[in-house]
Chain A
Amino acid sequence: MTSALVVDRLTKRYGVQTAVNDLSFSVEPGSITGFLGPNGAGKTSTVRMILGLIAPTAGRITVLGSQTIRPVQDRVGFLPEERGLYKRMNPVDAVAFLASLKGVPTAEGRRRARTMLEAQGLGGHLRKPIKALSKGMAQKVQLVAAVAHHPDLVILDEPFSGLDPVNQQALEGVIRDIAARGATVLFSTHVMQHAERLCDRVVLLARGRKAFDGTVPEARAAAPRVLTLEGQADAEALARLPGVVAVQPAPPAERGGAPRLTAVVAPHAPVQEVLRALFSQGFDVSRFEMKEPSLHDAFIVLTGESLPAPQTLESAA
């Protein structure tokens, strides 16, 4: 099957600064691919090159089988990082106008706009000027505008930024729906949780270079796991067990509780072997807990960079 998007040895320099450096990856049709990296990693520059907004310094991009964006422009949907719509237009007109640029007749565009906006809970705001809508509502309008022409490839640049956690969750549903319709989705983000829940594949980017390209489990497997042990255990003996790369004391789970140790298990090392060796050597362990690494952990290991703390429902409340 031909890839929906192929990025081949792509480089972009702004003067002496290299924003994207020899980047290659491909996106399979019908998949959801996360394009991940901290701010300034080169995600937006890559997205802009894919869309033909800026020219690459070197490299080649194939979009929906075409070497240039122009012939397939109508089959691509795009949500830019910085949102913008005509403030005095109403949502239906705005969506229909942008869809008409993609070849959808105005009447059909308006029909689709109404249906999709109503599905997004904006049925009561169809005739209001966009400047009268809340930021979250305007972002929904913009997302609808990006997909109203039923594109084969949808590129979303930081689609979750600026949304509250409830709307972030709703947007995840929308992205799944787009993929369920058969479209290919590439979205950039610096929040790993969304990618973890949504993506078939992820491409990790750090300082303009690709740090990882694969599935989420593959990415996670690259990160060490943490085994927490409660009971009487010898830290030095524990550290000598096969696969254990570091051991640290941890505070008891409760006041006056049993002492605890955390053992960092090397990536790909079988945790069962560690546990088996633990018990066979007579460690007095009353409780153990294995924590699988998150994509966030994997990113730090794979890129050597830290990411901003993700926003949670609790922190947002």
Chain B
Amino acid sequence: MRRLLIIAGREYMSYVRTAGFWLSLALAPLGLVVGLGLPVFMDRAQQGSTVAIVDLTGGDYAARLRARLDEDVRDGGIQAMRLLALTTAGPDAAKAVREAGGRGGEPAARAELARVAPGAASRFKAPPPPFRIAPPPPSLPGERAAVNAALRPYISGERTLPGGEQLDGAVVLHRSEGEIAVDLWTAELGADTVEDAVRVAMRDLLRAERLTAAGLSPDLLEQVEDLQPEIRELSPKAAGGGEVSLRDRLPTVVGFALGVGLFMVIFAGAGLLFNSVMEEKSSRVLEILAGSASTTEIMGGKILGVAALTATMMLTWAALGTLALIQGAPGMAADVGSVLMGRGLLLYFVLYALLGYVMYAAIFAGIGAFCDSPREAQTLLTPVILLATVPILFMSLAVRDPGSPLLQVLSWIPPFTPFLMLARAGSEVALWEVVGTLLLMLLTTAAVVHLSGRAFKAGAISSGPVDLKRLLSRLRPAKAA
């Protein structure tokens, strides 16, 4: 045990002393923040754009389009308030904000948010409009082709609006074969914010116009537009035995997230271990260690060292994530916490993570002990990697159909068990299945550790290229004379 701990300590410190460890520790949360914030940054980047509306229809479509766009912005604000209420104060608060917005518009929604989630309301900022609408350039001709020709230099940046402002886009409303049509100018080929907003606004506007022309009264039209059937989703599995709420769905989502997280953690750890063993094998350090400690101590020490390293990173990220969730969405944090603790997901995670990590780490260490180069590693690892992709393919099925018989069968295959069982665990998996799969994993892990230990010992002092056949032959017990 002393030697095992010494080897584990060296393994742990060899990573902790590298700049790469601290970089990955810091960069992963940073990457998450950037990943999550990227759509917001991209939206903000486009929010500064200026768009002009040119109306060649002879009607008042420009004013009506502008009014519709403003309304959509206000609706977006109400939606943002609803989401904020949902994450900070729960589904009931979100529903109240949505209903208030429906009744009294944006001011009513804001008032309701202040009532149900005062803290969140104080820091709420309505999302700015996706773009600013400016008056069109002066002295534009009255014919469509000429207007487009006149707009081109403004959009390309050769000319600016009278105030010196750059025009990033233009909406030219005209008639084509009697129907209202749009020519849309944008400075950037890939920018679709303006297109999306104009498409939705014009569609609603023209539908309303056509229905009004058909004799629908403006009041009835408004009612039709606001018509949104209330759908109650019911399930006997819901907490109250009736209506399904977000809280009911949360365990499934959390279970899936834990399954995916576990997959990443296990293979990141096993990958680190594999590289470490391969490095020691190629530099002949393994043989030195084999002269000073038993195979169990060497392999166990390395597995423990990398496990401690992985745990350090995982716990740090989990702590940062929890803090961020508590700060940003305390309601959601409380729900996730109750799911993790209440349904035993955290305990399952720990048990499946432990057994899954040891099983895969032992396999990777056993194979790594035979590899002197990445090329050899590629040959020997490919079957394991292919096997490991199977649970990833089926994990999403656990969210859609957790009771699927196929999923149940696959959950009993030990290499898939940790990931699929966790993904299913949020959907009230029977206790006997949990206990049974854990016992099977325990037995399989013990067998894998035993066989990998034998391979590790043979690999540590082997030399020359090794293929899968030779590796498997090393797993057989040596014949006594």
- Residues of A participating in the B interface, judged by any CB pair closer than 8 Å: 11, 13, 48, 51, 53-55, 57-58, 70, 73, 76, 78, 80, 82-89, 97-98, 100-103, 142, 145
List the A residue with the shortest CB-CB distance to B282: A84
List the A residue with the shortest CB-CB distance to B10: A97
In the complex, the answer to whether B481 meets A13 with C-beta atoms within 8 Å is yes
Interface-central residue, B2, B285, B289, B293, by most chain A CB under 10 Å: B285
Enumerate chain A residues within 8 angstroms of B2, measured Cβ to Cβ: 103
Pick from A55, A78, A98, A101: contact of B478, CB under 8 Å: A55
List the A residue with the shortest CB-CB distance to B6: A100
User: Residue B66 at the A interface, CB < 8 A?
Assistant: no
User: Residue B247 at the A interface, CB < 8 A?
Assistant: no
Pick from B283, B293, B479: contact of A87, CB under 8 Å: B283
| Nearest CB on A from B159, distance (A) | 61
> How long is the Cα–Cα vector from A100 to B481 in the complex, in angstroms?
37
In the complex, the answer to whether A51 meets B285 with C-beta atoms within 8 Å is no
| Nearest CB on B from A180, distance (A) | 23
Known contacts A53-B287, A80-B284; decide if A88 and B292 are in contact (CB<8 Å).
no
User: Residue B430 at the A interface, CB < 8 A?
Assistant: no
| Nearest CB on A from B155, distance (A) | 57
| Nearest CB on B from A129, distance (A) | 12
> How long is the Cα–Cα vector from A97 to B280 in the complex, in angstroms?
15
**14 interchain pairs, CB-CB under 8 A:** A53-B290, A57-B478, A78-B288, A78-B291, A80-B287, A80-B291, A84-B283, A84-B285, A85-B285, A85-B288, A86-B285, A101-B6, A102-B292, A145-B288
| Nearest CB on B from A91, distance (A) | 14
User: Residue B378 at the A interface, CB < 8 A?
Assistant: no
Enumerate chain B residues within 8 angstroms of A73, measured Cβ to Cβ: 292-293
List the B residue with the shortest CB-CB distance to A78: B291
User: Residue B14 at the A interface, CB < 8 A?
Assistant: yes
8 Å CB contacts to A: which residues of B1-48? 2-3, 6-7, 10, 14
Known contacts A58-B481, A97-B6, A101-B6; decide if A83 and B284 are in contact (CB<8 Å).
yes
Known contacts A57-B480, A57-B481, A101-B3; decide if A84 and B287 are in contact (CB<8 Å).
yes
Enumerate chain B residues within 8 angstroms of A101, measured Cβ to Cβ: 3, 6-7, 289, 292-293
User: Residue B461 at the A interface, CB < 8 A?
Assistant: yes
| Nearest CB on A from B214, distance (A) | 79
In the complex, the answer to whether B461 meets A86 with C-beta atoms within 8 Å is no
Contact mask for chain B residues 432-466; partner A; CB cutoff 8 A; 1 contact, 0 none: 00000000000000000000000001001101000
Enumerate chain B residues within 8 angstroms of A83, measured Cβ to Cβ: 284
User: Residue B294 at the A interface, CB < 8 A?
Assistant: yes
Enumerate chain B residues within 8 angstroms of A86, measured Cβ to Cβ: 14, 280, 283, 285
Known contacts A53-B461, A70-B294; decide if A82 and B7 are in contact (CB<8 Å).
no
Enumerate chain A residues within 8 angstroms of B480, measured Cβ to Cβ: 57-58
| Nearest CB on A from B475, distance (A) | 15
> How long is the Cα–Cα vector from A282 to B14 in the complex, in angstroms?
80
Enumerate chain A residues within 8 angstroms of B280, measured Cβ to Cβ: 84, 86
Enumerate chain A residues within 8 angstroms of B290, measured Cβ to Cβ: 51, 53
| Nearest CB on A from B278, distance (A) | 13
| Nearest CB on A from B304, distance (A) | 15
In the complex, the answer to whether B14 meets A88 with C-beta atoms within 8 Å is yes
> How long is the Cα–Cα vector from A145 to B463 in the complex, in angstroms?
23
List the B residue with the shortest CB-CB distance to A84: B284
List the A residue with the shortest CB-CB distance to B481: A58
Interface-central residue, B280, B284, B291, B294, by most chain A CB under 10 Å: B291
Enumerate chain B residues within 8 angstroms of A85, measured Cβ to Cβ: 283, 285, 288
| Nearest CB on A from B461, distance (A) | 5
> How long is the Cα–Cα vector from A73 to B2 in the complex, in angstroms?
13
Enumerate chain A residues within 8 angstroms of B457, measured Cβ to Cβ: 53
Contact mask for chain B residues 326-347; partner A; CB cutoff 8 A; 1 contact, 0 none: 0000000000000000000000
Known contacts A54-B461, A70-B294, A101-B6; decide if A84 and B14 are in contact (CB<8 Å).
no
> How long is the Cα–Cα vector from A53 to B6 in the complex, in angstroms?
20
| Nearest CB on A from B450, distance (A) | 16
In the complex, the answer to whether B288 meets A84 with C-beta atoms within 8 Å is yes
> How long is the Cα–Cα vector from A103 to B5 in the complex, in angstroms?
12
Enumerate chain B residues within 8 angstroms of A82, measured Cβ to Cβ: 284, 287, 463
Enumerate chain A residues within 8 angstroms of B460, measured Cβ to Cβ: 53
Enumerate chain A residues within 8 angstroms of B293, measured Cβ to Cβ: 73, 101
